[in-house]
Structure 1
Amino acid sequence: MSTQKTVRRQAGSVEESSLRLDEEKASQIIEALNTDLANAYVLYHQLKKHHWNVEGAEFRDLHIFLQEAYETIEEGADIIAERAQAIGGVPVSGMSNLEERATVTPEDEDVYSARASLENDLEMYGDIIEGMREHIRLANNLGDYATEQLLKEILVDVEEDAHHIEHYLEDDTLVVEGALN
């Protein structure tokens, strides 16, 4: 718990920035960015969980891929948070705030097969991709072309990792059929 007494910026507030984006428009975009940020950290923690717990014949490849995937998500989250701050907002932070803001639901604490874990990841990626596309349209419609571009760049990486998971879930595998579940 912080002993700091003076709040410099209230969470949820929007202030004028040097980027000259109207505060009402900035508010809508910050709201969307904070949702993307929260979703990113929910996915990040789920990918970390799967990275720690993956087992089986494809352990090494999945272990490495999952680390790369959560690092990609974390990098995108950082860009999103910095953009929210740059346009006058306060990036959402704190585990309970992130979970409350997120529109995706993580799997529970139990450990599942690699296939089931990846299926859960792919489902979450799909939800995040749909949300980001909506936020890209929102930024465009509100004339915030820089946020639009940043989200597009992040979306490319998110879609690429989702596509890789799709490949891992294909039925052509060295693992004996029936041992996948």
Structure 2
Amino acid sequence: MSTNESLRREAGTVEENAVRIDTDKAEQVIEALNTDLAATYVLYHQLRKHHWNVAGAEFEQLHDWFGDAAEDAEDNADDIAERVQALGGVPISGPSALSDHAPVEFEGEDVYNVRTSMENDLAMYGEIIETVREHISLAEDLGDYATSEILRDTLEDLEDDAHELEHFLEDDTLVLEAALN
């Protein structure tokens, strides 16, 4: 645990930044980014959970997909956190802060069937996509075009993964129903 003597910057504070975004504007963008960071980490942990627990006829393909999607989320979280820091803020990081800031909720510890897990993921992707779109507009309205570009890249990954999930959830399959029962 850190002590006050070694504290460099208090969480929740914003200082002047080298990218010359006004501190008042940076505070608004940082708040939005920390929301996106929290949501992305909740998504990451849920995808990892599904990666670890997936079973069934499509195990290998889904195991790989969940792992790749979790890596996308982790990479996006890193980009978002680094932008928070560049704007003079402190990226949120602890479990309680992530839970407090996230606009989505983790599905919990229980293990669900693959279809339910993926439906839960698709719903979470949808919520995060809507929030990220709002934050792109906010960043642009405040003149922070670099942040809007980072969020556009994040949005592209989110939409690609959601689209792939949508395909996985289609009712057309070569796996026989009788084999699943």
Distance 2:53 2:149 in 1: 35
- Alignment partner of 2:6: what SS? coil
RMSD (CA atoms): 1.5
Structure 1 outlier segments of 4+, above 2 Å: 1-6, 174-181
Task: Tell me what 1:6 maps to.
Answer: 6
2:112 aligns with 112
Distance 2:165 2:179 in 1: 19
Match of 1:121 in 2: 121
Q: Secondary structure at the match of 1:5?
A: helix
Query: Which secondary structure state, in structure 2, belongs to the residue aligned with residue 93 of structure 1?
Result: coil
- Residue 75 in structure 1 maps to residue 48 in structure 2: no
> What displacement does 1:177 show?
3.2
Give yes or no for contact 1:115–1:180 (8 Å, CA) kept in 2. no
Give the corresponding residue for 2:20.
20
Change (3 A) 1:62 1:34: same
The answer (yes or no) to whether the contact 1:21–1:87 under 8 Å persists in 2 is yes
**Alpha-carbon deviation of 1:135?**
0.1
Q: Give percent identity, aligned residues only.
A: 62
In structure 1, distance between residues paired with 2:26 and 2:72:
26
Going from structure 1 to structure 2, the CA distance change for 1:37 and 1:180 (only over 3 Å counts) comes to farther
Note the C-alpha offset of 1:155. Answer: 0.7
1:178 Cα deviation from its structure 2 partner:
7.3
Contact 1:122 1:165 (C-alpha < 8 Å) held by counterparts: yes
**Residue 89 (structure 2) aligns with:** 89
Partner SS, residue 119 of structure 2: helix
Structure 2: how far apart are the matches of 1:163 and 1:113?
20
Aligned partners of 1:3, 1:13: CA distance in 2, in Å?
A: 17
- Residue 147 (structure 2) aligns with: 147
Residue 8 of structure 1 aligns with an amino acid whose one-letter code is R
- CA deviations over 1:95-115 (Å, ceiling 9, x no partner): 111111111011011100100
Please state how far the C-alpha of 1:179 moved relative to its aligned partner. Answer: 7.2
Deviation at 1:176, TM superposition (A): 3.1
Give the whole-Å Cα distance in 2 for the aligned partners of 1:116 and 1:176. 19
Give SS of 2:177's match.
coil
Corresponding residue for 1:135?
Answer: 135
Q: Which runs of 5+ in 2 are unaligned?
A: none
Report how far residue 2 of structure 1 moved. Answer: 3.6
Does the aligned pair in 2 maintain the 1:57–1:174 contact within 8 Å?
Answer: no
The count of corresponding residues between Structure 1 and Structure 2 is 181
> TM-score under structure 1 normalisation?
0.96
